């Protein structure tokens, strides 16, 4: 497959297509509005293998949640234009009837939403909601069986006294307990794919760590694939095997987690890393925010969508950045690391300009950038 539109080559293609639990190819999602057509996701491709975790990171409005909701067919087809292909365990999702989509949701794939209190119905007991999720895919199960399964799942995710708390209402649970209940609901039918959309939002650091550990433990037990959507690069470093960076509805960088976080090749990724506070650095040091604002998806910029905010565009000859959308192509780290950028030598720029400013201790120990090849005259 072409490397200019997705992350289905290189390291991402290490698993054969048949081994991939989720395959998204050339996904485009648009929302017609009174002001015009919102290009929420444009030509996005990625895949996730069983037992692996893909982290999707980017600012609000980059298309992370929109693309993941499309995987479960959660967009209203009357108000959404969707193109491309989404296959969950070999089943094409786009174009399926609502009845067939309901068989996939919760059974083959499930989603944990970021606001557990808003996602749980306030008028129904937690156990009742879990039981209904189980009964929807097990019509022959009795009410007693469904309740027993709900208690079992609450126990599995670490809810104390699950046989008693199963009859509580959502407002009687703490924030961390509600998030655990949402995870229990997502896993109650043993789905092969779990999408976690900001699963640790508004939780304190200790509970965040517990939730992430729980997701890891459950993944090992069920051998499920996980997509974790987050703004937190610390969560990405902890959880993800591979990272997809999105900006303005497009994939702008992809790679194995350790490699992408230590050798990023796209200026937007540099900006995300520069915005993370260094707890070991100077307490008076200022954060380095990305200048400007995300573009309007009603009228995206011409060329590279990041060029209005990119401080490195003057390093590209001509007006490529403003006129030509760069392909998502292999960078300097090999075919498994893809970046959407016109910069010819991003690794050198990062090593000599960015890293010394955001992590001087790492820059001091980093190997020097390779010298430029000599010209014929120098040779």
Residues 6+ apart with CB under 8 A from 20: 47, 48, 49
* CA distances (Å), origin 32, targets 37, 39, 77, 241, 331: 4, 9, 11, 35, 35
pLDDT at 156: 87
Task: Point out the residues of the chain with pLDDT beneath 70.
Answer: 1-18, 202, 280-282, 285, 361-379
pLDDT at 276: 82
pLDDT at 121: 92
Q: Give the residue among 167, 195, 193 at the shortest CA–CA distance from 182.
A: 195
**Cα–Cα distance between 187 and 134 in angstroms, integer?**
10
pTM of the predicted protein model: 0.85
**Cα–Cα distance between 336 and 219 in angstroms, integer?**
24
Q: Give the residue among 154, 151, 126, 149 at the shortest CA–CA distance from 137.
A: 149
**Cα–Cα distance between 288 and 303 in angstroms, integer?**
25
Domain ranges of the chain: 1-108+191-367
Does CATH number 3.10.180.10 belong to domain 1-108+191-367? no
Phi-psi region of 214 (alpha: psi -120 to 50; beta: other; left: phi over 0): alpha
pLDDT at 17: 41
- According to DSSP, the residues that pair with 85 across neighbouring strands are 25
**Cα–Cα distance between 152 and 149 in angstroms, integer?**
5
Write down the H helix ranges in 157-228. Answer: 162-165, 175-187, 205-222
* Main-chain phi, psi angles of 44, to 5 degrees: -100, 130
């Amino acid at each position: 497959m072409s490397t200019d539109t997705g992350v289905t080559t290189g390291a991402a293609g290490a698993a054969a297509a048949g081994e991939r639990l989720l395959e998204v190819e050339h996904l485009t999602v648009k929302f017609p509005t009174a002001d015009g057509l919102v290009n929420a996701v444009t030509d996005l491709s990625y895949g996730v293998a069983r037992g692996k975790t893909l982290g999707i990171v980017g600012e609000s409005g980059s298309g992370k949640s929109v693309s993941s909701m499309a995987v479960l067919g959660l967009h209203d087809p009357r108000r959404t234009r969707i193109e491309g292909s989404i296959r969950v365990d070999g089943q094409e999702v786009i174009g399926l009837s609502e009845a067939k989509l309901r068989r996939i949701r919760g059974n083959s794939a499930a989603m944990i939403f970021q606001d557990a209190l808003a996602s749980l119905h306030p008028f129904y007991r937690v156990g009742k909601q879990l039981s209904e999720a189980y009964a929807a895919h097990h019509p022959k199960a009795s009410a007693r069986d469904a309740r027993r399964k709900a208690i079992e799942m609450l126990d599995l995710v670490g809810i104390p006294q699950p046989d008693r708390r199963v009859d509580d209402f959502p407002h009687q649970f703490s924030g961390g307990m509600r998030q655990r209940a949402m995870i229990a609901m997502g896993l109650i039918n043993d789905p092969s794919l779990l999408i976690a959309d900001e699963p640790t939002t508004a939780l304190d650091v200790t509970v965040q760590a517990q939730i992430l550990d729980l997701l890891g433990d459950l993944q090992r037990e069920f051998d499920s694939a996980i997509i974790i959507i987050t703004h937190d690069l610390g969560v990405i470093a902890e959880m993800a095997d591979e990272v997809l960076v999105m900006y303005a509805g497009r994939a702008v960088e992809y790679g194995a987690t350790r490699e992408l976080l230590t050798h990023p090749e796209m200026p937007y990724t540099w900006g995300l890393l520069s915005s993370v506070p260094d707890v070991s650095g100077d307490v008076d040091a200022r954060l380095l925010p990305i200048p400007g604002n995300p573009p309007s998806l009603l009228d995206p910029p011409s060329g590279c969508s990041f060029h209005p905010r990119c401080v490195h565009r003057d390093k590209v000859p001509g007006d490529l950045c403003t006129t030509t959308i760069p392909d998502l192509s292999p960078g300097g780290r090999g075919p498994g690391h893809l970046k959407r950028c016109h910069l010819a030598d991003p690794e050198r720029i990062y090593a000599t300009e960015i890293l010394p400013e955001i992590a001087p201790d790492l820059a001091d120990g980093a190997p020097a950038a390779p010298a430029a090849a000599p010209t014929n005259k120098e040779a």
